Structure 1
């Protein structure tokens, strides 16, 4: 269905008119998809802390009015010119980053950081014409990270839409659009713990729990959760965490505590908080010679990572990751299939939240 045969759709959306002010349910007009775009009917959407962070607009350039939301599942309503991998009726997940398929990153087996479609939190328009597809009585409404799923209909670049198994429950797999893949992939694709190894997970929020699930799937025998909130340990047990450390309970740096617990350090560490101190601790708690630390959390813009160079020279490895190193269009359908086959229980366990 080309964009010459579809019309503007009027629907409801939760609009943020000002930073930190309650969202307002409004009737918005959603324009047809242009070339390379897809219009989705959003059936389920969830809330990520990133939505809250940019809604608060603390330390960022405010961009309002805006429609937030980026963890969602829906059905393709129409497609723009040139879109061939999607058609109306397909079940799909929109993702805040994309896969154009043509740039060096997309062609690399080692990267998922598409030159064209990687996340841009300062962009409030579509990339091909710098215009919004949302409006209220003629006033343009800004997009958010190319998804804006707090709307019954949204327009997304086709490279940011993953076609998935229509039998997958959209109310469950929608959370794969962001946090779950970010944590799960950080462990499975980047840290790559070996069976029987030890893994420390810093931060037991949704991303950290997904990272712990990745360690469980990988066969790690010791999964140590590190968090300032001790009550999180009980829930974390369902995701494979079998030991817990609260830094506030100790009078020495937590990396030293973990090193003493594990005879010199853990084999892998995954940091999921965004705290610069947690990042340093995660790196310094891995074992010399083979330890790998993976940074997932996003730090404040003025933070600086500081550690002694000998920690690197002693053959510890520090890595970063973006969206768990998953390519959205290529890899996300496979992650959904693994869930459908029961490989990962993460989404089922999320019912405990």
Structure 2
């Protein structure tokens, strides 16, 4: 029998979310029914709802992709999960069989590109609903592929493991896994939302000697320093282009520059701020669909590297549980980054808070 679940539904791009009950399918072959306990509000959700990610999401549907929950039913063929397991849904599947899964060079999986996101797992008033990013965690219950769920320890708080479903992992992993920042390195982080502040923590864990935190909001400085930043730069007050300023204060540019805003302009600034002979510019923020990046190619010939990071490079079922262990060992702080906890009824308020730049991470508690 279908499960009745409360959900926030996006019927069309840039339309108000509908809060109502939906019918969630029973889990099929290789699928798992999960009771979502907490879901985070990520800027990617806002972009999807506003219709800025037409190549990645399908309407009508249930948004959301950052969550933690408990397995309540497993479908045929599921072998790695059981009722009662605590899990984190994750955008990057890990089938464990494809060439991508066998490679340490990527956290992508070929099962991400099979068109499975076109499959609907729920309905509202007779209309079938897609799951945004093949997850759709703005629903109290959801059906997910086994290969999209990371089984994690049961003593970790749901609101914190939810954050590891996207934002925190994206930031931490960019420094720890993708860039592999060396001890003693100089790092600049542009954009101090939840992802950027997680990059700061990742750089601190790696032993970076200098972490330059950059944001136009001066109120972010105290938290950035708490996360491990050694300096704070407000681009509005420096009197020159950010890239040139960072080159000036570092001598030749930062060894690693992380762009965590998702705009072409800041990616260009980040590239300009990168050490001209060996620096790595890491694109972490997600620009809107269709944007193109003009950069001077000669700087690549001199030795700069321009690299992207997909959800921090962490693999779903093998990498995320390790991050949860490190969280519980006290290596990094997520609790300080969760600045609001709201019920599902206030999810639209939470999205408006995000638009206004209020807080770091808001989570919905079911």
Same structural fold, with TM-score higher than 0.5 when normalized by the shorter chain: yes
> 2:263 maps to which residue?
275
> 1:186 maps to which residue?
174
Are residues 1:252 and 2:252 paired? no
Which 10-residue stretch deviates more, 311-320 or 18-27?
Answer: 18-27
Are residues 1:66 and 2:61 paired? yes
How many equivalent pairs are there? 339
**Could you tell me whether the CA contact under 8 Å between 2:47 and 2:53 is conserved in 1?**
no
2-structure distance, mates of 1:69, 1:15: 10
**Could you tell me whether the CA contact under 8 Å between 1:191 and 1:269 is conserved in 2?**
no
* Structure 1: gaps of 5 or more residues: 1-6
1-structure distance, mates of 2:288, 2:122: 30
Q: SS of 1:177's equivalent?
A: coil
2-structure distance, mates of 1:76, 1:265: 48
1-structure distance, mates of 2:196, 2:104: 25
> 2:204 maps to which residue?
216
1-structure distance, mates of 2:259, 2:181: 14
Provide Cα deviations, 1:211-251, integer angstroms capped at 9, x if missing partner: 11101111112111122222222221121122122222234
TM-score by length of 2: 0.88
Q: Which runs of 4+ in 1 moved over 6 A?
A: none
Offset, 1:65: 2.6
> 1:322 maps to which residue?
310
Larger proportion of helix:
2
Which structure exhibits the higher relative contact order, with contacts defined as CA atoms closer than 8 Å and separated by 6 or more residues? Answer: 2
Are residues 1:115 and 2:110 paired? yes
For residue 32 of structure 2, the aligned residue among 18, 38, 43 is 38
Offset, 1:10: 1.3
Q: SS of 1:228's equivalent?
A: coil
Distance 1:85 1:52, change over 3 A: same
Provide Cα deviations, 1:255-305, integer angstroms capped at 9, x if missing partner: 110011011111111111111121122122122332111111122334322
> 1:350 maps to which residue?
337
**Could you tell me whether the CA contact under 8 Å between 2:58 and 2:132 is conserved in 1?**
no
Q: SS of 2:218's equivalent?
A: coil
1-structure distance, mates of 2:159, 2:238: 41
Q: How does 1:1-353 map to 2 (within 5 A)?
A: 7-58=1-52, 60=54, 63-117=58-112, 126=116, 131-345=119-333, 347-351=334-338, 353=359
RMSD: 1.9
Offset, 1:58: 4.2
Provide Cα deviations, 1:79-137, integer angstroms capped at 9, x if missing partner: 1221111111111011122111111111101111111126x9xx6xx55xx54121124
Offset, 1:16: 2.0
* Structure 2: gaps of 5 or more residues: 340-358, 360-366
2-structure distance, mates of 1:146, 1:185: 22
2-structure distance, mates of 1:301, 1:10: 34
Distance 1:189 1:65, change over 3 A: same
